[in-house]
């Protein structure tokens, strides 16, 4: 059986963004009918949807789906969470690592959910400062821990 890549994109959005990319490429002086560029506007439209898919996700629901009542009050730390985002000022990538620590207050969360919420907020047009704040506030508002800290090291 041949390889089949499964992708789900809003085709209306894809087509509208594709047309805009085609115009941008043409206005930069390129020939969009050149073989190497024939499918570039569509690929760019799909890539942008992938890179900004965090707008369609609710990070609090991700945490709530793995919250457990637990009488544990030692600090929980997850370090070196890879992140990739787009700077909202120039729509250029920035990447790095996030470190999250919290002190439970009656509830813990599955450790794999912390990297997932980093990814959700990273998949939006961002600035590093707001990304840090958004992650912290989501954990604070959802888990209501005794304390939470988020540090991001990115370039």
Domain borders along the chain are: 11-51, 54-154
Tell me which CATH code domain 11-51 carries.
1.10.286.10
pTM for this one?
0.91
The contacts of residue 116 (CB under 8 Å, 6+ apart) are 59, 62
> Could you give the percent of the chain with pLDDT greater than 70?
96
Q: For residue range 24-54, list pLDDT tens digits in order.
A: 999 999 999 999 999 999 999 999 999 999 9
Tell me which CATH code domain 54-154 carries.
3.30.1130.10
Q: Would you tell me how many other CB atoms lie within 10 Å of the CB of residue 15?
A: 13
The contacts of residue 9 (CB under 8 Å, 6+ apart) are 45, 46, 49
Token pair 């729509």 is at which residue? 91
């Amino acid at each position: 059986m041949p390889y089949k890549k499964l992708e789900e994109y809003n085709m209306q959005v894809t087509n509208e963004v594709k047309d805009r990319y085609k115009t941008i490429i043409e206005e930069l002086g390129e020939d969009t009918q050149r073989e190497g560029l024939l499918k570039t506007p569509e690929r760019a439209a799909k890539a942008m949807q992938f890179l900004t898919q965090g707008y369609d996700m609710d990070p609090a629901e991700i945490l709530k789906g793995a919250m457990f009542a637990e009488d544990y009050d030692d600090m929980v730390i997850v370090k070196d969470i890879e992140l990739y985002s787009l700077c909202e000022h120039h729509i250029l990538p920035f990447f790095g690592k996030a470190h999250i620590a919290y002190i439970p207050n009656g509830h813990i969360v599955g450790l794999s959910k912390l990297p997932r919420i980093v990814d959700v907020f990273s998949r939006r047009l961002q600035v590093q400062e707001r990304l840090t704040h958004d992650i912290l506030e989501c954990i604070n508002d959802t888990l209501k821990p005794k304390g939470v800290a988020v540090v991001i090291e990115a370039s």
